[in-house]
Each structure stands twice: as C-alpha cells, then as structure tokens.
Amino acid sequence: MKHNRLHRGDRARMARLTLHFRDHPLRLIPLVGDRMTIGRHPDCEIHIDSLAVEERHARLTGQDDDWRIEPLDSEAPVFVNGERISDPVPLREGDVVRVGKHSLHYSAETEAEKPSAAPAATVTPLHAPRPVEGYLQFLSGSHVGRTIRLDRAMTRIGKTGRQTALVARRRDGYYLSPLEGEQSPELNGEPIGDRSVKLADGDHVRIGGLELQFFLDRATRPANPREKERRFTRVAFPAQARLLDGSRTLACRVHDLSLKGALVSLPERHDIAPGEHLVLEIPLDESGHIRMEVAVIRCDEERLGLACRDIDVDSITHLRRLVELNSGDPELLDRELADLG
C-alpha cells in the first residue's frame, strides 16, 4: 500500500534523477506520472544511449517523492548504492542507481523550488543539444545511392550473423562501433578495432564488402559559397565510374551527378583536354548502370567537369531514382528534362 507523504507545510515534492556518465552530469530528468522505464529503446521515458543498457532495463513506479525501482530482466543488473537488486526497492534522497556504465542520482525538490511551468517529462540537457540530422549513403551493393536517415538512437548496418556495425546517435554527434564479424569496420580506410569512433561529415565507412558515406543535413551545415555556383539539381553521389574514349577505358570517381553533367576525379595517366567528347558509365550493381555522352568543359589538377550531351531513357530512370532517394522530390528531373527540350 502506498503512503503519501507531505513535507514543509503540506507542499508536494517532485522527485528527479540526474543522469551521470563517468561522474559527469548529463541531464536532469523529472519523475512524472506513475511509471517510467529506463532503457536503450527510444520509446523509454528515461532513454540511455549505451550498449551496456538493455532496451528496457529497469522500471520506476511511484508518485511525487515516493518512487521504487526494479529490474526488468534478470540478466540486466541494476544496482542501488552499490548493491544489486532483484525486487522493487524504494528510493531515498541521495540514492545512486547504476545501470550499465551510467548512474542516476535520486533527489527531490519542493514545489516552490520547481519551475512554474515545467512541461511533463521534460529532459533538461546540461551540455550540448542533440546533433543535427545525420545520414548514410550506400556506395555499393543492391541499394547503391540510397540514403538512410540516422534519426534513431542506434542504427544497425550490415548483414546480421556476418558483418555488422552500429551507428549511435549521441548528444555530441554520431559514433561508429563494431557489432559482429571477424573484420573491423573501416573509417576512411583505417580499421577502427573495437573502439567507438565519432563520424565527421564526408567520412567513408566500410563494413565487410559494404561501402557507405556519412554526411550531415545540408540545411544545417556551414554555408558553402561554392553552392551558389550550382544552377541545376545535383546529387552528391560518390561512386566508382569509368570514362570511355574510343578503345580506352579510364577509371575515375564521381563526386557530383546531375542530368546536365557530372564532376569526376581526374583519371591517372590521361591526356584529356576541354572540348573532348567521352562516355561516362556508372555501374549500379544488379540494377544496371547510368550512361551518358559528355563533353569536357573543365579540367584542373584534380577534377573534370563534364556536360551531358545525351542520355538514354534507362539512365534517366536510374538518375530519377537517385534524386527521389536523396531529396524526395520527383519533380526535380522533370523540370530539367523540360529545360533540355
């Protein structure tokens, strides 16, 4: 039976937890309602983004300043003041709860000390806000060109049972961690071992035979003055490609792709000059390839600027799919097709 307790002139008290990691406070969590779940799953009222925490690790039940905590899984230990618990335990002022590598410090404050209009279940960050949205784009495999929005606490990448990795969204950014498999994931060509490594905009990731690129939401990136030079819709689509010049085949890498042309890396051992006519081919695994006849309009020390002279219907279809996957706007290519006449 629950006993309501009143303090200091019958003023109700509101309990709260302060989440810590390695003795560093992360955020304040008011305890509201009569039931709250602690866990790794984003649906949990007290969400802890850590592999050491189960998806639903523990449950809090109570009201005002009368709360109890209990484990939800016998294999997911919960400690209160250093002692492992197996049954519901009442929490007292100053108690420290440990789940995984995080600790939660319990305290209560009087209603007079509360903010006058605190919203229910508000989590108050003590440090940086959540990062901007991150994305992964497939550079190989059957989903080449597809982007994944990293809007969940954790995103698993790879083939389960073979080679997988995890991208975790934390307050200060996105982190890549190995999950299973004999080979370590690679970041920009370097194995990460068993570490969790923070991802930066533009990083290249390899998980087994799968290649991906990480990037942040363009709308929140620092302004790039060169973006103003673009006069048509392009898809940031880094992929291996080849330039055909008669009997020669020159390997290159695509940086930027559009119905009106492309920007590619300068092939090794070449004598290409502005004005030449070539064929650009971009393999798309099982789904075919994009093929366009191009003219070289720019050639510098690192890149070739190519203008599209002709493109077949199948290639337009593949390019349309890339635009839809990356921008969600199927009308972009239609407008450019109209411009081409």
Question: Tens digit of pLDDT for each residue in 41-93?
Answer: 888 889 887 888 899 999 999 877 789 999 998 888 999 998 999 999 999 88
Question: What average pLDDT does range 208-213 have in this prediction?
Answer: 86
Is pLDDT of 324 > 90? no
Give the lowest-confidence range in 122-126, 158-162, 249-253. 122-126
Q: Which CATH number fits domain 13-113: 2.40.50.140, 3.40.720.10, 2.60.200.20, 3.40.1390.40?
A: 2.60.200.20
List the alpha helices (DSSP H) in the chain.
313-327, 331-340
> Contact, 289 vs 312, CB < 8 A?
no
Cβ density class 165-178: b for 16+ within 10 Å, e for less:
bbbbbbeebbbbbb
Report the DSSP pairing between strands 46-47 and 35-39: parallel
State residue 278's pLDDT score.
Answer: 93
Rounded Cα gap, residues 103 and 46, in angstroms: 12
- pTM for the structure as a whole: 0.34
Q: Which CATH number fits domain 230-340: 3.40.30.10, 1.10.8.100, 3.40.190.10, 2.40.10.220?
A: 2.40.10.220
Banded pLDDT at 332 (limits 50, 70, 90): very low
Domain with CATH 2.40.10.220 in the chain: 230-340
Q: Does domain 134-220 have CATH number 2.60.200.20?
A: yes
State residue 237's pLDDT score.
Answer: 58
Residue 320 C-alpha from the chain's centroid: 24
Is pLDDT of 321 > 60? yes
Top-confidence range, 27-31, 86-90, 257-261: 86-90
Domain with CATH 2.60.200.20 in the chain: 13-113, 134-220
State residue 8's pLDDT score.
Answer: 36
* Residue 261: its H or E element: strand 261-265
Question: What average pLDDT does range 250-264 have in this prediction?
Answer: 82
Is pLDDT of 226 > 90? no
Q: What is the CA radius of gyration of the chain?
A: 27
> With pLDDT > 70 as the criterion, what percentage of the chain qualifies?
73
Of 147 and 102, which is predicted with more confidence?
102
